[in-house]
Amino acid sequence: MPDEEGHPSREEMDLRCVMNALADPLRYQVVSALVKDAEDKERHCSSFGLPVSKSTRTHHFRILRQAGLIRQVDRGNSRMAHLRRADLDARFPGLLDLIRQNPAALPGSD
């Protein structure tokens, strides 16, 4: 079962759940940005420039977290997100390569 913060274990990850998370353009944009980052780089949840309100952002990050795509950790006041690269590579080999080769069409965020 997922931990208290909703992170599934590597074995619990479900491909359809991941697909569903990636089907949304905002969420794909976040994951695509994380994939391009350096290994395990942590990013502020508000650093992706999502054109939505705080509550909507929380909603999208929860879906990404519950799908197992990202891990969120508390850093004092803020919350940092980073790709679960090792878990994803182990559980869904090739997935991150696919995303890397198909970057999100961002409105000027490259």
Partner DNA sequence: GGCTAGGTACGGCAAGGATCGAACCTCATC
Partner DNA sequence: GATGAGGTTCGATCCTTGCCGTACCTAGCC
Spatial strand order of the sheet with 70-75 comes to 43-44, 78-83, 70-75
Judged by CB under 7 A, which of 2, 10, 58, 73 binds DNA? 58
Assess 48 for contact with its own copies (CB under 8 A).
no
- Cα 102 to Cα 80: distance, rounded to the nearest angstrom: 24
Q: Which parts of the chain are beta strand (E)?
A: 43-44, 70-75, 78-83
Residue 102 contacts which entry, DNA, its own copies, none (Cβ below 5-8 A, type-dependent): its own copies
Which residues would be at the binding site for its own copies (CB under 8 A)? Answer: 14-16, 19-20, 22-23, 25, 28, 92-95, 97-99, 102, 104
Which residues would be at the binding site for DNA (CB under 7 A)? Answer: 20, 24, 26, 44-46, 51-63, 72, 76-79
